[in-house]
């Protein structure tokens, strides 16, 4: 049953050879077939993943484990990570406060964009980069002295991702935060 006319094999092999040559210079790209199928991505009710998870040992799911945490006797220690993992669907008051803080930061960022872009240009200049290195050293010292803010950063990142913002925009947002920290540092230097 493996008898093919030459045309089919030649077509396939030529195509694969061309792809192999082209593929040497390509970045990975995850293509999902959509013809005749539902396309991947968010759904109206199923959130960013476009999937309804009945149970997930890490995230919870349609019946999230947060419900367990709210039952009498549930330990507070387990509540925070579960809430963070279950996402906005199970967001509690502390998450809402965090979201509001982030929103305020976002508004501030929008207002200060022009000033921030000037700062970026300065940072890339020769004089700026030397001072910036000093600032980075100060940041490292501060982090080791006061502990890592990784968890808060992670939460902010997750929320940002859920809002559908692009990674480039998120990077700029992070740089702006760094700029704000730099401004604070400059104030302390003047004192």
Partner 1 sequence: MDESDIGDVKFKERKIEFWVGQEYGKLWVGQGDMASNSTAEVDLSGTDVAAYSSMADVGGSFEFQDDGVGTGITVGGSRSNFDGLSRRDRVRYDTPKFAGFYGSASTAGDSRWDGALRYSGDFGWAKLAAAGAYADLGTSSDTQDSIISASASMLFDFGLNLTVSYGKREQDNTDPYNLFGKVGYKFLEKHAVSVQWGHTENLSAKDDEGDSYGIAYVYSPWQSVEFYGSYVLHTLDRDTGSDPDDITALFFGGRVKF
Q: Given the rule CB under 8 A, which residues bind partner 1?
A: 1-5, 8, 11-12, 15-16, 19-20, 22-31, 33-39, 41-46, 50
129 vs 136: CA distance, rounded Å: 10
Q: Which is nearer to partner 1, 21 or 130 (by Cβ)?
A: 21
CB 13 to partner 1: min, Å: 9
Place of tokens 């200049």: 125
CB 84 to partner 1: min, Å: 24
CB 39 to partner 1: min, Å: 7
CB 128 to partner 1: min, Å: 30
Q: Which is nearer to partner 1, 42 or 149 (by Cβ)?
A: 42
Place of tokens 């939460």: 155
CB 123 within 8 A of CB 132: yes
132 vs 5: CA distance, rounded Å: 67
Question: 87: closest CA among 168, 170, 172, 157?
Answer: 157
Q: Which is nearer to partner 1, 1 or 168 (by Cβ)?
A: 1
191 vs 184: CA distance, rounded Å: 11
* Residue 179, helix vs strand vs coil: helix
CB 41 to partner 1: min, Å: 5
CB 157 to partner 1: min, Å: 21
Q: Which is nearer to partner 1, 101 or 162 (by Cβ)?
A: 162
Q: Which is nearer to partner 1, 8 or 93 (by Cβ)?
A: 8
Question: 106: closest CA among 68, 161, 160, 67?
Answer: 160
CA-to-CA separations, 132 to 17, 150, 171, 173, in angstroms, rounded: 49, 22, 18, 18
Q: Which is nearer to partner 1, 27 or 111 (by Cβ)?
A: 27
């Amino acid at each position: 049953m493996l008898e093919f006319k030459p045309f089919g094999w030649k077509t396939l092999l030529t195509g694969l050879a061309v792809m192999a040559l082209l593929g040497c210079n390509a970045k990975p790209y995850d293509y999902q077939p959509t013809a005749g199928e539902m396309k991947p991505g968010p759904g109206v009710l199923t959130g960013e993943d476009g999937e309804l998870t009945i149970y997930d040992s890490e995230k919870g799911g349609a019946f999230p484990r947060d419900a367990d945490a709210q039952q009498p006797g549930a330990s507070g220690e387990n509540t925070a990570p579960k809430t963070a993992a279950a996402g906005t669907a199970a967001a509690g008051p502390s998450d809402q406060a965090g979201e509001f803080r982030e929103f305020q930061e976002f508004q501030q960022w929008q207002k200060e964009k022009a000033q921030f872009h000037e700062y970026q240009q300065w940072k890339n200049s020769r004089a700026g980069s030397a001072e910036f290195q000093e600032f980075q050293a100060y940041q490292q010292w501060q982090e080791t002295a006061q502990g890592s803010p990784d968890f808060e950063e992670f939460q902010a990142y997750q929320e940002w991702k859920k809002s559908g913002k692009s990674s480039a925009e998120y990077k700029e947002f992070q740089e702006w935060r760094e700029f704000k920290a730099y401004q604070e540092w400059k104030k302390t230097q003047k004192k």
